[in-house]
Structure formats: structure tokens, C-alpha cells
Amino acid sequence: MATSPIVLITGASQGIGAALARTFAKEVPGVRLALVARQERKLIAVAGACGKLGAKAEIFPCDVSDETAVAALKVAVAKRLGRVDVLINNAGKFAGAPFVEMPVADFDRMIAVNLRSVFLMSRAFAPDMMARKRGDIFNMSSIAGRGAYPGGAGYSAAKFGVSGLSQVMRAELRDQGVRVCCVYPGATWSPSWAGAGKAKERLMPAEDVARAFLDVYRLSRRTVVEEIVLRPQLGDV
């Protein structure tokens, strides 16, 4: 495990992303966090919470589905923090509709936010890991990337894509010392569930999902967890 690692988390402004930031801040001594999302105000709050836990946290407002923005992000992170040791591709968004009714713009947005972002971010930060023969990349899929359901045309297509991309990345990067883990969480409590009429007790805490990432990261370099599936104990909601 690298000392004082630099951990970059996309979608870090709320939900699982914010829980990941707090968990690494609390549990990894000397960690330096690059917190990325589009909502600067929320990023500031998460960074403040991480600072109180003893971590150095820098914020980087960015649309990670935009190629030019990701290129600028790479430069900014290197200048302010250094080379990234752990990349967590957590950014994502959901919009549901029957596939014959789903607007093309909504479908394209699901692919961009959930899949294109993983490709762009990994392509930007993996080369430095390969050069050092060490690194960890976590790609956030979903149980929707393992089994489709009505109304999930864009989201499921994107998350199945994350699964496939993760397998390609793992095959290409494993001999370069870079571990790639694809994570499939089920329903997890976040602000996006507010008002959805689902009992919070039936959803997983975001902190539990974050803990799984941390535990995988802490394994010896001789071991890779290729996939993690996490589901609510009481079943999918």
C-alpha cells in the first residue's frame, strides 16, 4: 500500500462518493483526496468534513463526461497534488423510461455520464499508473449492469458497458501492476432516493459500500478483487 496515497473520487459531492471520501479520510493516514464533481458548493462541504478527519482534500469541479474538461482536470490534479494512486470512477446518473419512449438525448446522456466518463478518466490517469507499475482503478457499475429491468434502457446499457470496459482494462493493465475492480451496488441510500417512497431501512448505507472499496484497496498487491456485488439484505427495492 502506498504511503500518503492520492485518491481521486468522481461524483464526490454526495451519496456513495461523499461516503468514499470520508471513509478514506478517516481510515488511511496521510491520504490526499482529489474530490471531483460538477457541484462546487457540495464539494466544498465534503472537503471540509474530510479535513476535520485529518485528510488533505482538494476540490476539482468538472464534468467528467467532457474530454476537454478531463484533460484540464488531469493537469490541475498533477499540479496541486501529484500523480494519482487510486482512481474511483463513481460519477453517474439515472433516468428511466421505456426504451421506445426514451428521448435520444436522455439515452446519450446516460451513456456519457455513466460510461464515457469511465473511459475518459481511466484513459487520462491509467498511463501514469502503468509507468509506475502500481495503481488501483475502481469502476462503479450497478446491479443494473448485471441484470436488465423495464425502464432501464439507457442506464442498464451504460452500466453493462462499464462491466465490459472494466474487463478489457483488467486484461490490458494487470501485467502493468494496475488492479481494476468493478463494483455492482444495489439500492444504496443517497439524496437521490429522497421522496422516492422507499423506506431507508431497506437500502444499504453508503458507508457500507465505501467500506468495501477500502477493504479491497488494503489487500496485498498480490491479490485483485475483480468484482464486488453488494445488495440490500432485505432484497432489491
**DSSP codes, 2-37:** -SS-EEEEESTTSHHHHHHHHHHHHHSTT-EEEEEE
In the chain the domains, ranked by start, together with CATH numbers, are: 6-230 (3.40.50.720)
Q: How far apart are CA 199 and CA 178, in angstroms?
A: 39
- State the average pLDDT for the chain: 93
Element (H, E) at 81: none
The 10s digit of each residue's pLDDT in 117-146 is 999 999 999 999 999 999 999 999 999 889
* C-alpha cell read off for 178: 494496475
Q: Please indicate, yes or no, whether the overall pTM of this predicted structure exceeds 0.85.
A: yes
Give the model's confidence band at 195: pLDDT under 50 very low, under 70 low, under 90 confident, else very high.
low
Closest CA to 228 of 213, 218, 217: 213
Q: What is the pLDDT of residue 210?
A: 96
Q: What is the pLDDT of residue 202?
A: 82
Give the model's confidence band at 93: pLDDT under 50 very low, under 70 low, under 90 confident, else very high.
confident
Is the pLDDT at 2 greater than 60, yes or no?
no
Whether the CB-CB separation of 152 and 194 falls below 8 Å is answered with: no
Q: What is the pLDDT of residue 193?
A: 60
Q: What is the pLDDT of residue 86?
A: 98
The 10s digit of each residue's pLDDT in 21-62 is 999 999 999 999 999 999 999 999 999 999 999 999 999 999
Least confident of 64-68, 71-75, 92-96, 192-196: 192-196
Question: Could you identify the residue written with the cell 419512449?
Answer: 101
Buried b (16+ CB within 10 A) or exposed e, 166-188: beebbeebeeeebbbbbbbbbbb
Closest CA to 97 of 153, 157, 161: 153
Averaged over 170-181, what is the pLDDT?
Answer: 97
Whether the CB-CB separation of 91 and 117 falls below 8 Å is answered with: yes
* C-alpha cell read off for 109: 446522456
Q: How far apart are CA 201 and CA 198, in angstroms?
A: 9
Closest CA to 36 of 63, 71, 68, 60: 60
Is the pLDDT at 14 greater than 90, yes or no?
yes
Q: Which positions are annotated as active-site residues?
A: 155
Dihedrals φ, ψ of 99, to 5°?
Answer: -65, -30
Is the pLDDT at 189 greater than 90, yes or no?
no
Helices 15-27 and 40-52, packing angle to 10 deg: 20
